[in-house]
Amino acid sequence: MDTQALALSLPLIGWATHSVYLAQRLATARRDPLTGLRTRAGWTARAERIIRRHRDAVVLLLDLDDFKNLNDAHGHAAGDVALTAIAERLTAWCGRQGIAGRLGGDEFAAVIRSDGSPDLRSLTRALNQPLAYAGRRLPLYVSVGSCRLADLPVRSLSDALAAADSAMYADKGKTGRRGTRTISH
């Protein structure tokens, strides 16, 4: 290759390399590096599409209860394992009918197409299964709130998330829902 052709191609090679780098950064920004779930921005875009196409969709908001205590008692590695387990369980429950995302910290969201009433009891049972970690069984407690889009006067993701958030906090407030919860050292 002559020097003139090389001089002309270098900027193109640099631009192509930079474009690939930016595309990879954008793709990873839409995925949570710990759980592999979509981040808030990535999940929101997909959730909006599902809502537009499926009038019977259900939006869920989930919060890992006592997460700070879990981290304090067993360390951040145990917390990371718990977050990953919740992500895997939620993703498995959604299957091909929906999408799960990690909104931040210990808060997750999902939207699913629904041909009836989604089995939230099976989801709650799956999420609340103890977690095997370092030779122990750590309890996991997840509060779940849901909102059927068909129940809203105006179908919007923000309104559905607000309603699911209210339902989630009502779920947290149920006395005796899980009995006494302690995280052992």
Catalogue the active-site residues: 106
What single-letter amino acid sits at 146? S
List the one residue out of 63, 75, 76, 77 whose CA is nearest residue 140: 63
DSSP the chain: --HHHHHHHHHHHHHHHHHHHHHHHHHHHTB-TTT--B-HHHHHHHHHHHHHH-TT-EEEEEEETTHHHHHHHH-HHHHHHHHHHHHHHHHHHHGGGEEEEEEETTEEEEEE--SS---HHHHHHHHTS-EEETTEEE---EEEEEEEGGGSSS--HHHHHHHHHHHHHHHHT-TTSS-------
One-letter amino acid at 127 equals L
